[in-house]
Amino acid sequence: MTTALRVRPRVEGDWLFVPVPRLAPVPQLASAPRAHRPYRLFCFPHAGGDATAYTPLARALAPAAEVWALRPPARGGRLGHPMPASFDLLVDAVVEALTPHLTGRFGFYGQSFGALLGYEVARALPAGLRPELVVAASASPPAVWSGADRPRYTADELLRLAGMGELVEGDDELKEHALRGIRTDLDVVATYRPRPHPPIGSDLHTVVGVEDPLLALGGLEGWAAHTRGAHGHHVVPGGHLLATVDRPGPVDLLTSLTTRPRAAHQSPTE
């Protein structure tokens, strides 16, 4: 059995879940040299998604990177926690939760709704605390999310088109939990309004599944304008949700991006 499968997951506060910790949370870790800390990949779930969906990805990336997955309110282990009333308030809450853990080398990966949230969290952070890498998967650029022509789906449609329907088939209670989470996130994203801002310095890569029924292969155009760092566009096997409870997602791509020498990246500062 590999180390990745033996180690026990842990929760960091309300907001973060570490499925495969690479280092035990010992007191000395806070003062350890930055070079000795594992690369942290903060992962943001899709609409209705939970942090546990990133467990297969965490196992596949270990030990190259340590996944820290966001635990959104109103689902899973945080079912009784209310979702912030607006997208801006959600960003503020996530920034506050992540800031103490933004040490050493780290990047963000998000899918669909999670990609938009991850990008806006990166933008809201002080320039010196921004991730060196942002990977936006299965997500249109920010302007599309609030435009008059943006696609509008019901929770049931998203459940089916995103490929989550098969995961809850035959379990009415699980399906209702999934739909409740999707509706919660749709309500939040409906409040999103992008604001003019300078590009961030983080490298920004976009990725889409070749069989994505919600996003055309050209639907990621526009993201490049949001970074002064490197930009890449990647097409990989899969549908709308690349990393799920039974699929690790774009492991090769994320391994390549997170194991590049730091010198290959521009500074994420402005």
54-74 confidence digits (pLDDT tens): 999 999 999 989 999 999 999
Choose the weakest-confidence range: 58-72, 105-119, 170-184.
170-184
Q: What integer is the mean pLDDT of 155-176?
A: 67
Choose the weakest-confidence range: 135-144, 218-227, 243-252.
218-227
CATH number of the domain residue 97 falls in:
3.40.50.1820
Looking at residue 173, its pLDDT comes to 72
Looking at residue 67, its pLDDT comes to 98
Query: What's the domain range around 226?
Result: 3-25+34-263
- φ/ψ region of 74 (left if φ > 0, alpha if ψ in -120 to 50, else beta) reads left
- Give me 267's structure tokens: 């500074």
Sign of CA dihedral 255, 261, 262, 266: negative
Choose the weakest-confidence range: 97-101, 202-206, 212-216.
212-216
Looking at residue 178, its pLDDT comes to 78
Quote the mean pLDDT of the chain. Answer: 85
- φ/ψ region of 251 (left if φ > 0, alpha if ψ in -120 to 50, else beta) reads alpha
- Give me 156's structure tokens: 């049931």
Q: Give yes or no for a contact between 124 and 91, defined as CB atoms under 8 angstroms apart.
A: yes
d(CA 251, CA 43): 13
- Domain assignment present for 268: no
Strand order in the sheet with 16-18: 10-12, 16-18, 66-70, 40-44, 106-111, 133-137, 203-209, 231-236
Q: Give yes or no for a contact between 249 and 59, defined as CB atoms under 8 angstroms apart.
A: no
- Domain assignment present for 122: yes
What backbone torsions phi and psi does residue 178 show, to the nearest 5 degrees?
-65, -45
d(CA 130, CA 228): 13
d(CA 146, CA 69): 26
The pLDDT-based confidence of 195 (bands split at 50, 70, 90) is confident
- Domain assignment present for 146: yes
- Domain assignment present for 269: no
Cβ atoms < 10 Å from Cβ of 79: 12
The pLDDT-based confidence of 166 (bands split at 50, 70, 90) is low
What backbone torsions phi and psi does residue 224 show, to the nearest 5 degrees?
-60, -30
Q: Give yes or no for a contact between 159 and 48, defined as CB atoms under 8 angstroms apart.
A: yes
Looking at residue 171, its pLDDT comes to 63
Q: Look at the chain and report how many structural domains it folds into.
A: 1
The pLDDT-based confidence of 177 (bands split at 50, 70, 90) is confident
In the predicted structure, residue 136 carries a pLDDT above the cut 90:
yes
Own/partner long-range contacts of 143-149 (Cβ < 8 Å, ≥24 apart): 143/194, 143/222, 144/222, 145/116, 145/189, 145/192, 145/194, 146/192, 146/193, 146/194
- Domain assignment present for 255: yes
The pLDDT-based confidence of 221 (bands split at 50, 70, 90) is confident
d(CA 194, CA 144): 9
Cβ atoms < 10 Å from Cβ of 151: 12
- Domain assignment present for 270: no
Percent of the chain with pLDDT over 90: 61
Predicted TM-score (pTM) of this structure: 0.88
